[in-house]
Amino acid sequence: ATARHRGDYQAPAWWIDTVDLTFDLDPAKTRVLNRMRVRRNPDVPAQPLRLDGDELNLARVMVNGAGTSFRMDAGQLVLENLPQDEAGFDLEIFTTCAPEKNTALMGLYVSQGTFFTQCEAEGFRRITYFLDRPDVMASYQVLLRADKAAYPVLLSNGNLVEQGDLDGGRHFAKWVDPHKKPCYLFALVAGKLVARQQRITSRTGKEHLLEVYVRPGDLGKTEHAMNSLMASVAWDETRFGLSLDLERFMIVATSDFNMGAMENKGLNVFNTKYVLASQATATDVDFSNIESVVGHEYFHNWTGNRVTCRDWFQLSLKEGLTVFRDQEFSMDMAGSASARAVKRIEDVRVLRTVQFPEDAGPMAHPVRPESYVEINNFYTVTIYEKGAEVVRMMHTLVGREGFARGMKLYFERHDGQAVTCDDFAAAIADANPGSELATRLDAFKRWYSQAGTPCVKAQGEYDATAQTYTLTLSQSCPATPNQPSKLPFVIPVELGLLAQDGSALPLQMEGETAPGASTRTVVLDAASLTLRFIGVASAPVPSLLRSFSAPVRLDYAYTDAELLTLLAHDTDAFNRWEAGQRLMLRCAINAIAGSADASSAGGTLDAEIMDADLLAALRRTLRDPQLDAAYKELVLSLPSESYLAEQLDVVDPQRVHAVREAMRLQLATALRSDWEAAYEASHDTGAYQPDAASAGRRALAGQALSMLCLAAQHTGDAVWPGKTLQRFKDAGNMTDRFAALAALVTSGHPHAAAALARFHALFKDDALVIDKWFALQAGTPDRGGHVLPAVQALMKHPDFQIGNPNRARSLIFSYCSANPGAFHRADGAGYRFWADRVLALDAINPQVAARLARALDRWSKLAEPWRSVAHTAIAQVAGHAKLSKDVREVVTRALE
Ligand code: HT7
Ligand code: ZN
């Protein structure tokens, strides 16, 4: 398969102004009549019209009502000798496709008897021949015809303008979208669905109908999604002055979906996981994810749909910006400063545990990639999460008001256009002349073009006589594929200084006449920068990169005492948490590197890894009445095995697992009475509310239970496991019930088996809950290699279906991608399981298979014997004769 390159972009040689689609929906053979008005792009030299198509049966092509000659070339339908005049011509194409055979879930497919489409990025070509690229924007009208009994609801983008009955028990619906759009935003849905409806009046005084469509029986689980949608509409109006531009905005849920959701204009299609919630079946995390995904897709209506991407290399233009917007929305919804910090910590955790490894691995790519083989492989954490960090840095550099001005200018300039990341950055900078961004825009844009995670090294020197503190910041960035050296990044570094007693020092830099605020942002835009603070009465403790002001690694040689000061006193909640993480990380790294007092073959390790000072500090945090429960839960959470592994040059995954498990046990036993107190204080029995504060209390109670069950396994105590089992049985909501179940399962308590069986029996008819049941068993800490056989047995469970992406993710991905201690077996059985599953999935759904293929991205860091066995497994996949280009790209890059 050949790569596409960003530099090869050319404007389309033809425009498609209008599209009139007629669908005769039939699962076995759907007929699609596509009538377009096409005209030459006069700005581009004359070329044949090349239309993309995939898996289509072509029946007829007509130009201006008459048959025409055509040829096929590499899957494209090529038409030559077309009318070249300005008025254009009518092009009619009649094709058929087989939705029920579409297991890739791209294009038109059937899920549980309902038709759905997924067109982003290149799925529209599986519906009809078209210029399947985002810079071709057309007006659509769509006529849907189908059997009325089987498909009573017929939906497409825009407004329903006509509907009625047809002969033979069929009916029709005609939809007209008032907005021009690229074809990746086209959607249709047809099936037996019911809707929760809500009428709203927006700030502009216009009335809108909001609808959430689900299968009959699920209507009771749509309230939270609808509330989230209403909140999203209100938030975008208040924060950015952006109103809903449609009379009707629909969300439809499907249980067969490759990703989380899709922002089709006016007809969002969602994975059920991000729509359905009730307190009995969804956890607090589910509730919060629903709010953020509903927000994300809604915010795309402006950032993505009204202004879209010129080409797929610009994907982060819409995704990075929209993730930034959904993160801000969730923070604003969370309310308190502490809840905002919790959200920021959660977002940074994802960035550091998933995106940093991506940026250091074989699939590393800039936020605006230079090339790709399969665009579906580039819906990555780099495009989304690092892209959001780039937008966040712009926000930091121009300020909240300045950013709002920039957004306004962006829409003034580009509404209705398909544009680039450069256009976005220019709008933000131009709206803020003289700002820290505008004055170094070209250098700032290296965040778009250079891959890799920069490292900021900080060194401080205190001069007691002069009462000055000199801080030197310097930056470097490791080589990434095709980018051996990098130019300096523009890095906003928010910082403060703490006195030894932990109090915040007002900051005064050399040349300033008076001390200022105790926190400020400096901009590191060269290889190094030296800052001199004056009037510093004693050696300070620097608090650097506050709020994680840039997506970098910070290297500062903190002493343990300095980190303990930050953990106890930093006014920046992010850095307070970060100090605890650094202390825990340091203990773990020392233990991993230390004498081999743990078996590398998955044995347990009895060593005391965290010292008394750290444990005392964590105890104080847990007991601190000033801190919110959600924040405590984060401070008391150990860095993940994958994050620990990323800090090492050579990884023995079993050693990492053993050390972390030993730390977990130490935390459980050393703080046992504190966990009891935390549980008693936070296990709310009142009415369930999904708000951030209540969810935080439940999170801490769940963590405490998990720790108490673990400690009990060590001491033989039966009380806490018994209490946990009781709580599992009596719980009034899924968060508490699942936390109790997880505490029993992850501690390996004998009660776990009965609880798992009971859980399955209780929820056997709820697919999303059964996904949790699979995921818990596949993700549990390994004890003597028990997880892989359990996963293999679960693959044979009657509820397991590999073709359903949610189910495949819940079992296979939970094992291969989220349970390193169980996956990285020295005998290579985990890797062989992975290779077999990648190949099996690839025959069904290449996109999902390629995601699974990423599980071994970091194989070259592994110690022996893991490294060699992993290499063999990847080579086995790469050597397979029939491989999709999705999987081939991932494994080829892994082996390069
Ligand atoms: N923009 C959407 C991306 C998406 C997608 C991409 C490829 C294949 C299937 C897909 N489903 C959704 C999701 C989003 O970022 O909002
Ligand atoms: Zn998105």
The string of pLDDT tens digits covering residues 747-771 is 999 999 999 999 999 999 999 999 9
| Ligand 1 midpoint to CA 261 (Å) | 6
Ligand 1: nearest atom to the Cα of 258? 9
Asked whether the whole model's pTM tops 0.90, one would answer: yes
What are the pLDDT digits (tens) for 47-85?
999 999 999 999 999 999 999 999 999 999 999 999 999
| Ligand 1 midpoint to CA 349 (Å) | 22
Ligand 1: nearest atom to the Cα of 847? 8
How much of the chain, in percent, has pLDDT values that exceed 70? 99
Residue bearing the CA closest to ligand 1, atom 2 = 262
Binding site membership of 326 for ligand 1 (Cβ less than 6 Å):
no
Question: How large is the average pLDDT for residues 175-193?
Answer: 99
Residue 602 — very low, low, confident or very high, per pLDDT cuts 50/70/90?
very low
Binding site membership of 641 for ligand 1 (Cβ less than 6 Å):
no
Instruction: Find, among 789, 786, 810, the residue nearest to 799 by Cα.
Output: 810
User: How is residue 740 written in tokens?
Assistant: 């109790």
Per the listing, tokens 């959660």 go with 346
Ligand 1 site-directed mutation target among 184, 262, 384, 847, most atoms within 8 Å of CB: 262
Q: Where are the beta strands (DSSP E) in 464-576?
A: 468-476, 491-498, 504-505, 520-524, 528-533, 541-544, 553-556
Question: How far apart (Å, rounded) are the C-alpha atoms in residues 35 and 56?
Answer: 16
User: How is residue 895 written in tokens?
Assistant: 């082996």
Per DSSP, helices labelled H in 351-486 are: 356-360, 381, 387-414, 421-430, 441-444, 446-449
Q: What angle do CA 449, 453, 456 make, to 5 degrees?
A: 115
Which ligand lies nearest the alpha carbon of 122?
1
pLDDT at 785 over 60: yes
| Ligand 1 midpoint to CA 347 (Å) | 19
User: How is residue 165 written in tokens?
Assistant: 């009955």
What are the pLDDT digits (tens) for 867-881?
999 999 999 999 999
User: Please, which residues have CB within 8 angstroms of residue 868's CB and are 6 or more apart in sequence?
Assistant: none
Report how far apart, in Å, the C-alpha atoms of 590 and of each of 554, 607, 611, 644, 656 are.
19, 12, 12, 11, 11
For every residue of 108-133, DSSP letters joined together read EEEETTEEEEE-TTTTGGGTS-B--S
Question: How far apart (Å, rounded) are the C-alpha atoms in residues 373 and 888?
Answer: 9
pLDDT of residue 600: 42
Binding site membership of 259 for ligand 1 (Cβ less than 6 Å):
yes
Residue bearing the CA closest to ligand 1, atom 5 = 120
Question: 3-class DSSP state for residue 845?
Answer: coil
Which ligand lies nearest the alpha carbon of 269?
1
pLDDT at 603 over 60: no
User: How is residue 832 written in tokens?
Assistant: 């062989």
Per the listing, tokens 């590393």 go with 364
Question: How far apart (Å, rounded) are the C-alpha atoms in residues 255 and 273?
Answer: 8
Which ligand lies nearest the alpha carbon of 312?
1
What are the pLDDT digits (tens) for 532-567?
999 999 999 999 999 999 999 999 999 999 999 999
How much of the chain, in percent, has pLDDT values that exceed 90? 98
Residue bearing the CA closest to ligand 1, atom 15 = 319
Instruction: Find, among 342, 440, 437, the residue nearest to 392 by Cα.
Output: 437
pLDDT of residue 604: 65
Binding site membership of 263 for ligand 1 (Cβ less than 6 Å):
yes
Query: 490 with 523: CB under 8 angstroms?
Result: yes
pLDDT of residue 493: 99
Binding site membership of 376 for ligand 1 (Cβ less than 6 Å):
yes
Which ligand lies nearest the alpha carbon of 847?
1
What are the pLDDT digits (tens) for 696-739?
999 999 999 999 999 999 999 999 999 999 999 999 999 999 99
Residue 335 — very low, low, confident or very high, per pLDDT cuts 50/70/90?
confident
Binding site membership of 388 for ligand 1 (Cβ less than 6 Å):
no
| Ligand 1 midpoint to CA 839 (Å) | 23
Binding site membership of 319 for ligand 1 (Cβ less than 6 Å):
yes
Q: Which of 297, 358, 374, 661 is catalytic?
A: 297
Residue count of the chain? 896
Q: What angle do CA 104, 108, 110 make, to 5 degrees?
A: 75
**Phi, psi dihedral angles at 870 (to 5 degrees):** -65, -45
Is-catalytic flag, 646?
no
User: How is residue 372 written in tokens?
Assistant: 């790709």
Secondary structure, 3-state, 242-281: CCCCCCEEEEEEECCCCCCEECCCCEEEEEHHHCCCCCCC
pLDDT of residue 599: 45
What are the pLDDT digits (tens) for 80-127?
999 999 999 999 999 999 999 999 999 999 999 999 999 999 999 999
Ligand 1: nearest atom to the Cα of 319? 15
Query: Looking at this predicted complex, what is its ipTM?
Result: 0.98
Binding site membership of 120 for ligand 1 (Cβ less than 6 Å):
yes
pLDDT of residue 605: 74
Positive or negative: CA dihedral 220, 225, 229, 231: positive
Q: Which domains does the chain have, with CATH numbers?
A: 4-277 (2.60.40.1730), 309-449 (1.10.390.10), 463-557 (2.60.40.1840), 764-896 (1.25.50.10)
Residue 596 — very low, low, confident or very high, per pLDDT cuts 50/70/90?
low
pLDDT of residue 597: 54
Residue bearing the CA closest to ligand 1, atom 1 = 262
Binding site membership of 631 for ligand 1 (Cβ less than 6 Å):
no
Which ligand lies nearest the alpha carbon of 320?
2
> Terminal CA-to-CA distance of the chain, rounded, Å?
16
Query: 137 with 67: CB under 8 angstroms?
Result: no
Query: 549 with 393: CB under 8 angstroms?
Result: yes
Question: 3-class DSSP state for residue 560?
Answer: helix
Ligand 1 site-directed mutation target among 122, 379, 385, most atoms within 8 Å of CB: 379
Residue bearing the CA closest to ligand 1, atom 4 = 262
Instruction: Find, among 661, 756, 753, 754, the residue nearest to 714 by Cα.
Output: 661
Residue bearing the CA closest to ligand 1, atom 10 = 259
Ligand 1 site-directed mutation target among 108, 120, 184, 273, most atoms within 8 Å of CB: 120
pLDDT at 468 over 50: yes
Average predicted confidence (pLDDT) for the chain:
97
Binding site membership of 378 for ligand 1 (Cβ less than 6 Å):
no
Ligand 1: nearest atom to the Cα of 296? 16
Ligand 1: nearest atom to the Cα of 379? 6
| Ligand 2 midpoint to CA 590 (Å) | 40
**Phi, psi dihedral angles at 66 (to 5 degrees):** -120, 150
Question: How far apart (Å, rounded) are the C-alpha atoms in residues 323 and 340?
Answer: 16
Question: How far apart (Å, rounded) are the C-alpha atoms in residues 582 and 580?
Answer: 5
